């Protein structure tokens, strides 16, 4: 059994070394990692967002991913009343294989949302993002096949493996488009697409120089509708593909309004998402005084279930939108899920 779990750990680490991008089950709560065209699309002065994910703790040293971001609108008194020009900064930290591979990403993004009607209830946006990437390999935390003996892994056996480039860095540009619109008086819908790793930068810890990072593209959408006058039902969907790996996630959450504050009510969210052939993702969240907090736990249903015992990843999200001016010009419904 120990040998099987060791093999699984190595397999997961190798998958990371093939440069699959970090991802979140709460993709809807990480706007700047989903699509740079989300930059600035909210009602308020600035938005702070953060995410934390710990995955596979039940079967190996957990994979840990965290983000912190800020975005805000600029030139609000210069551009058209129906438009938004957003800028943002984001940092992402990802640790895989018990620290064998550590990745950091520093991103700057901008998006221009052009109003399509006199009220600005329908917008279309294009977003650009530039990311500085640094990845490090800690050779002392890697386990190789030639270090296995009859008792399993033996750290006293030399690996005889040498990494030419234990640290690599590169610049990575991304692009996205997004439509957001109001339907009727109180429903909304959005649809977007993003394309990451446009230049497919070279990424190799060895001497070879032809190992290029595969591009990643996403199609995503969602919306919300009122229920019983003051509650709302939210839904979202995501399809993402990178090299031979793909992900299809869909689901929704019901928002129970807990008070009678019209502009910013306290809301309890209960729902679930499903990542096809991989995990069921129950969700609970709360919105209050500009904050939105979300908690999910991936319940694994894939072929790894015998080893994972159905356990996958814990994920926490936090978004805070600061609104100094109650008469903020952009009051149409914005995507929350």
- Count how many residues are written for the chain: 337
Judge whether residue 3 has pLDDT over 50. Answer: no
Least confident of 53-67, 225-239, 296-310: 296-310
109 vs 10: which has the higher pLDDT: 109
Sign of CA dihedral 18, 24, 25, 30: negative
Q: What is the mean pLDDT of the chain?
A: 85
Judge whether residue 304 has pLDDT over 70. Answer: no
Q: What is the per-residue pLDDT for 17?
A: 40
pLDDT digits (tens, 9 = 90+) for 88-140: 999 999 998 666 889 999 999 999 999 999 988 999 999 999 999 999 988 77
Confidence of residue 294 (pLDDT cuts 50, 70, 90): very high
Q: What is the mean pLDDT of residues 313-329?
A: 82
Residue whose C-alpha is closest to residue 112's, from 148, 91, 87 = 87
Judge whether residue 330 has pLDDT over 80. Answer: no
Long-range Cβ pairs for the range 183-187 (8 Å, 24+): 183/223, 186/225, 186/226, 186/333, 187/223, 187/224, 187/225, 187/226, 187/333
**C-alpha dist (Å) from residue 104 to 95, 206, 307:** 9, 19, 29
Q: What is the per-residue pLDDT for 328?
A: 54
Least confident of 59-63, 271-275, 316-320: 59-63
Portion of the chain with pLDDT greater than 70, in percent: 80
Judge whether residue 321 has pLDDT over 90. Answer: yes
Q: What is the per-residue pLDDT for 145?
A: 67
Residue 150 burial by Cβ neighbours in a 10 Å radius (0-12, 13-18, 19+)? exposed
Q: Which of 28-42, 97-111, 145-159, 300-314 has the highest mean pLDDT?
A: 28-42
67 vs 184: which has the higher pLDDT: 67
Q: What is the mean pLDDT of residues 207-226?
A: 89
**Taking the domains of the chain in order of start, what are their residue ranges?**
20-322
Judge whether residue 11 has pLDDT over 60. Answer: no
Q: How far is CA 112 from the centre of its chain?
A: 21
CA angle (318, 319, 323) in 5-degree steps: 150
Place of tokens 């995410």: 51
Confidence of residue 14 (pLDDT cuts 50, 70, 90): very low
Confidence of residue 6 (pLDDT cuts 50, 70, 90): very low
Any residues with CB less than 8 A from the CB of 150 and at least 6 apart, and which? none
Q: What number of CA atoms fall less than 13 Å from residue 301's CA on the CB side?
A: 11
Q: What is the per-residue pLDDT for 8?
A: 38
Extended beta strands in 276-310, E state: 279-288, 291-300
Confidence of residue 296 (pLDDT cuts 50, 70, 90): very high
20-322: CATH superfamily: monomeric porin ompg (2.40.160.40)
């Amino acid at each position: 059994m120990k040998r099987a779990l060791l093999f699984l750990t190595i397999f997961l680490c190798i998958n990371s070394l093939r440069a699959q991008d970090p991802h979140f089950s709460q993709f809807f709560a990480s706007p700047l990692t989903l699509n740079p065209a989300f930059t600035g699309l909210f009602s308020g002065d600035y938005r702070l967002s953060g995410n934390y994910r710990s995955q596979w703790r039940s079967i190996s040293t957990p994979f840990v991913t965290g983000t912190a971001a800020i975005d805000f609108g600029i030139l609000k008194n210069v551009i058209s009343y129906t438009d938004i020009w957003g800028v943002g900064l984001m940092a992402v930290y990802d640790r895989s294989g018990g620290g064998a591979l550590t990745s950091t990403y520093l991103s700057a993004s901008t998006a221009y949302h052009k109003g399509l009607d006199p009220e600005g209830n329908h917008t279309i946006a294009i977003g650009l993002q530039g990311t500085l990437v640094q990845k490090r390999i800690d050779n002392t935390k890697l386990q190789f096949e030639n270090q296995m003996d009859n008792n399993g892994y033996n750290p006293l056996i030399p690996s005889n493996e040498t990494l030419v480039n234990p640290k690599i860095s590169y610049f990575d540009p991304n692009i996205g488009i997004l439509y957001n619109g109001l339907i009727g008086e109180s429903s909304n819908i959005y649809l977007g697409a993003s394309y990451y790793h446009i230049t497919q930068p070279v990424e190799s810890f060895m001497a070879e120089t032809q190992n290029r990072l595969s591009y990643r593209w996403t199609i995503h959408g969602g919306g919300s509708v009122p229920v019983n006058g003051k509650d709302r039902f939210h839904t979202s969907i995501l399809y993402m593909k990178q090299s031979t790996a793909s992900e299809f996630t869909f689901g929704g959450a019901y928002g129970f309004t807990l008070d009678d504050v019209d502009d910013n009510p306290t809301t309890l969210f209960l729902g679930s998402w499903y990542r096809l052939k991989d995990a069921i993702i129950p969700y609970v969240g709360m919105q209050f005084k500009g904050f939105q907090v979300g908690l999910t736990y991936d319940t694994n249903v894939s072929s790894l279930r015998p080893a994972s015992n159905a356990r996958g990843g814990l994920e926490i999200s936090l978004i805070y939108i600061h609104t100094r001016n109650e008469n903020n010009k952009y009051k149409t419904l914005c995507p929350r899920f």
